[in-house]
Every structure is written in structure tokens, then in C-alpha cells.
């Protein structure tokens, strides 16, 4: 949990790009808070507070207090955030009100611990296929991450979702046979590279397409689509 209280000031007037720029010039960022059966509210918040939350151990899964001036205190979490691509500065966030007594679905990181025997003595390499898993639990029980020990993995061995540590407080929603990590041979990893080289020589490789990120934030009092960074 974040120890600080995020102060949110309700925004008045127009919600356009010019108004959003004025908010940022004043040192704040525009935000929207919604959920828990209540109307969405356009607010402004301090980007430094949100940055500290996003960079904390629990990251965007952190549940914290938001003091909405004129509307009281609520529990919330960050569900979407957008950065200015050049300065890498927060320019907009979406907050969701959280009911502490109701189950919530979130994605948490999977952290691998140990060095597999297949890497130590059999010349393999460890490949993590699944880096996050979706879980369901009460907000107070959200873990910052899930640890899985891979030290016993031999060459061609794998860890699946069914092998992840069990807890009576959380339910993992991924398919049990989904591969989390496996130890593969270096030769097997090198084969696709060789195939790509042949394709490049024969001119059959697919053209590379540059991906575009969001250049600016929509300024509306409705939740935006999730684009996490």
C-alpha cells in the first residue's frame, strides 16, 4: 500500500487539449476516476505522486487513498497511464475506485528464482514464456509478484501454470497447462535465426513495420483503453 494520500482536484469547464496543457503547465496532470457504480469524475493530480506509486514494488497494482476535494476519500488504483514520448513524462492517468470487500482481477509478474540444472550442467538456456499471470483475489491480498523456483529444471523441462505456488487467498485464472518457463537447447534457439538469415538472403523476409505509440492523451471524462508501459 502507498503511505501517501493522492489529492485530486475536480476539474471544471472544458475538457479539451488546450485545457489539458494548462493543467500540465501548472505542474499537474489530468486524470479520470471511475468505478464502484459511480459516475466518472475528471480531476487533476500530482504526477510525482503517481510516478512514485508506479515505481513502487507493487507498481500499478498498488491500492492507495485518493482525497477527492468535495467528494471525500476513496480507495483507488491506477488502471491506465500515458507518457509523453520524447520527455517520457506522465501526461494522463485513469484511476479506478476499489471496494476492499470485493474480488478483483489483476495481472501480477512471475519471477523466476534459482539457476536450472539444465543450464548449469546440460548446456541449455532458460526461456521465460509467461511473464505475468492473471489472478483474482481481494484487493488487500494482491501480491507484488509470484515466485517460482526453477532450479530443478533439466534440459527440455518446463514449469506450467499448474506448478505455480498455491494460495487459498488468490485464484490463478490462466490455463493450467500454459508454459511459464522452460529450458531449451542453444541449438534449438539458433535455428530460427538461421532461417531468418536465409529468408533475408532470398528476399522473402516480411517487411518490418514501425509501431507507433500514443503521442498525446485524450482528454475526456470517460475511461481510456489500457495502454500500459
For the chain, which domains are there? 5-97 (2.40.240.10), 104-202 (2.170.120.20)
pLDDT at 226 over 50: no
CB within 8 A of 121, min separation 6: which ones?
none
pLDDT at 218 over 60: no
Percent of the chain exceeding pLDDT 70 equals 80
Give pLDDT tens digits for 152-188.
Answer: 999 999 999 999 999 999 999 999 999 999 999 987 5
pLDDT of residue 81: 95
Confidence of residue 204 (pLDDT cuts 50, 70, 90): very low
SS3 82: strand
Q: Hunting for cell 471511475 — which residue is that? A: 34
CA distances from 163 to 88, 137, 147, 158, 224 (A): 38, 19, 11, 9, 35
Confidence of residue 222 (pLDDT cuts 50, 70, 90): very low
Confidence of residue 98 (pLDDT cuts 50, 70, 90): very high
**Contact between residue 170 and residue 143 where contact means Cβ atoms under 8 Å apart:** yes
**Contact between residue 159 and residue 151 where contact means Cβ atoms under 8 Å apart:** no
Confidence of residue 1 (pLDDT cuts 50, 70, 90): very low
pLDDT of residue 223: 46
Confidence of residue 72 (pLDDT cuts 50, 70, 90): confident
Amino acid at each position: 500500500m502507498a503511505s501517501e494520500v493522492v489529492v485530486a482536484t475536480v476539474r471544471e469547464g472544458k475538457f479539451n487539449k488546450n485545457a489539458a496543457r494548462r493543467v500540465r503547465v501548472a505542474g499537474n496532470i489530468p486524470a479520470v476516476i471511475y468505478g464502484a457504480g459511480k459516475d466518472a469524475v475528471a480531476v487533476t493530480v500530482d504526477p510525482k505522486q503517481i510516478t512514485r506509486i508506479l515505481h513502487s514494488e507493487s507498481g500499478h497494482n498498488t491500492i492507495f487513498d485518493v482525497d477527492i476535494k468535495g467528494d471525500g476519500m476513496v480507495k483507488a488504483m491506477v488502471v491506465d497511464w500515458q507518457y509523453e514520448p520524447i520527455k517520457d513524462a506522465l501526461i494522463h492517468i485513469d484511476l479506478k475506485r476499489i471496494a476492499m470487500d470485493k474480488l478483483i482481477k489483476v495481472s501480477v509478474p512471475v519471477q523466476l528464482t534459482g539457476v536450472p540444472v539444465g543450464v548449469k550442467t546440460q548446456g541449455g538456456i532458460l526461456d521465460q514464456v509467461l511473464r505475468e499471470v492473471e489472478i483474482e483475489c481481494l484487493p488487500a491480498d494482491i501480491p507484488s509478484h509470484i515466485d517460482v523456483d526453477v532450479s530443478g529444471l533439466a534440459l527440455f523441462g518446463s514449469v506450467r501454470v499448474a506448478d505455480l505456488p498455491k494460495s487459498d487467498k488468490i485464484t490463478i485464472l490462466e490455463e493450467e497447462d500454459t508454459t511459464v518457463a522452460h529450458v531449451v537447447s542453444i541449438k534449438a534457439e539458433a535455428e530460427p535465426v538461421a532461417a531468418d538469415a536465409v529468408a533475408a538472403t532470398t528476399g522473402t523476409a516480411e517487411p518490418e513495420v514501425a509501431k507507433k505509440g500514443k503521442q498525446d492523451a485524450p482528454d475526456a471524462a470517460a475511461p481510456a483503453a489500457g495502454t500500459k508501459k
